[in-house]
C-alpha cells in the first residue's frame, strides 16, 4: 500500500508526474480507484503537476430498488462525483468518469428509455448537473472487455455511443469497440457530427421525448438524436433537419 499522507511519498510522486509531463510528453492523468484516497491528496498531485486534464475513477454502486433495477433518482450517486471535483478544485482540470450515466444507460436501452429524463427534466447522470466535469463512456477495461464486470448490452452499444457522442460531457470511446468490434465507421460518423456542429461538454440539452421505446433530444438547436425502436417520429423533427447518421435503433439528424 502507498501512504499518500506521507510527505516524502507525495514529493516523489509529484516529481514522477512532472517527469512524465516534461520528459515523456504526457499532459493528463487518470486517477485509478480514486475513492481509495482522499480528494485532498488528489488535489496536491494535480496542483503541483498542473496537467491539462485529469479524470478520476470513482466507481460506487447505484441505488437499486426491490426489482433489482436502478432507482429513478440517483442524486446521491452523482453528488459523490460532484463532491470529488468540488474538493479537488472545480476551476481546475479535474473531471470524473460519469458512472451515473453509464449505469442508467445500461438499463435504459433495454426498453426503458424513460430513464433518460430525470425528475427535473434534465439528463439523469452527472451530465445533468455539471457536464463540463463529466467524462461519459459506454464501457471501459473493467466494465467490458475480458473482465466483463458491468458490461453494456452488447447488441445496443451503438445506442450508447449515439447518446454520449451527441450529448454534453466529454465522451470517451472504448478501444475494444473502436478497433475490435468493427464499429469504427459508425462511431466515426457520430464523432464527425459532434465535431462539425461544435457540440461540446457544456452544450445545451433539450429532451423532447423520453418513453419506453423512444428517447428524442435536441442539442444546441443543431443536432437531434433518437434512441429506441419507435420508427415514426417525423412529426417530432423540425423542418430543415436531415439524417446524418443512423444504425440499429438510433438516428441522428
Q: Which positions are catalytic?
A: 32, 57
Give percent helix, percent strand, percent coil of the chain, each to the nearest 5: 40, 15, 45
3-state secondary structure of 9: helix
Q: DSSP state, 172?
A: E
Judging by beta carbons within 10 Å of its beta carbon (0-12, 13-18, 19+), is residue 126 exposed, middle or buried?
A: buried
Sequence-distant (≥ 6) Cβ neighbours of residue 31 within 8 angstroms:
42, 54, 55, 56, 57
d(C-alpha 191, C-alpha 182), whole Å: 16
Residue among 233, 227, 235, 231 at smallest CA distance from 251: 227
* Residue with cell string 457544456: 202
Q: What is the CA radius of gyration of the chain?
A: 19
Question: Are 9 and 3 within 8 A, CB to CB?
Answer: yes
Chain mean position to CA 84 = 16
Sign of the CA dihedral running 234, 235, 237, 242: positive
Output the CA angle 183-59-111, nearest 5 degrees: 50
Amino acid at each position: 500500500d502507498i501512504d499518500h499522507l506521507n510527505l516524502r511519498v507525495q514529493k516523489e510522486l509529484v516529481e514522477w508526474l512532472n517527469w512524465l509531463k516534461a520528459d515523456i510528453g504526457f499532459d493528463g492523468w487518470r486517477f485509478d480507484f480514486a475513492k481509495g484516497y482522499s480528494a485532498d491528496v488528489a488535489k496536491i498531485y494535480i496542483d503541483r503537476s498542473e496537467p491539462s486534464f485529469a479524470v478520476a475513477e470513482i466507481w460506487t454502486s447505484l441505488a437499486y430498488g426491490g426489482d433489482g433495477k436502478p432507482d429513478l433518482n440517483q442524486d446521491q450517486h452523482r453528488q459523490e462525483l460532484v463532491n470529488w471535483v468540488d474538493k479537488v478544485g472545480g476551476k481546475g482540470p479535474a473531471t470524473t468518469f460519469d458512472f451515473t450515466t453509464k449505469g442508467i444507460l445500461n438499463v435504459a436501452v433495454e426498453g426503458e428509455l424513460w430513464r433518460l429524463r430525470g425528475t427535473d427534466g434534465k439528463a439523469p447522470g452527472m451530465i445533468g448537473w455539471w457536464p463540463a466535469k463529466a467524462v461519459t463512456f459506454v464501457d471501459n477495461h473493467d466494465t467490458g472487455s475480458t473482465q466483463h464486470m458491468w458490461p453494456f448490452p452488447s447488441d445496443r452499444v451503438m445506442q450508447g455511443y449515439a447518446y454520449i457522442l451527441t450529448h454534453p460531457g466529454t465522451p470517451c470511446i472504448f478501444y475494444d469497440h473502436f478497433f475490435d468490434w468493427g464499429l469504427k465507421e459508425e462511431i466515426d460518423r457520430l464523432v464527425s457530427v459532434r465535431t462539425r456542429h461544435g457540440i461540446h461538454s457544456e452544450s445545451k440539452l433539450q429532451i423532447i421525448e423520453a418513453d419506453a421505446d423512444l428517447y428524442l433530444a435536441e442539442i444546441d438547436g443543431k443536432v437531434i438524436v433518437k434512441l429506441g425502436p419507435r420508427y415514426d417520429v417525423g412529426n417530432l423533427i423540425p423542418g430543415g433537419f436531415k439524417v446524418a447518421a443512423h444504425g440499429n435503433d438510433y438516428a441522428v439528424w
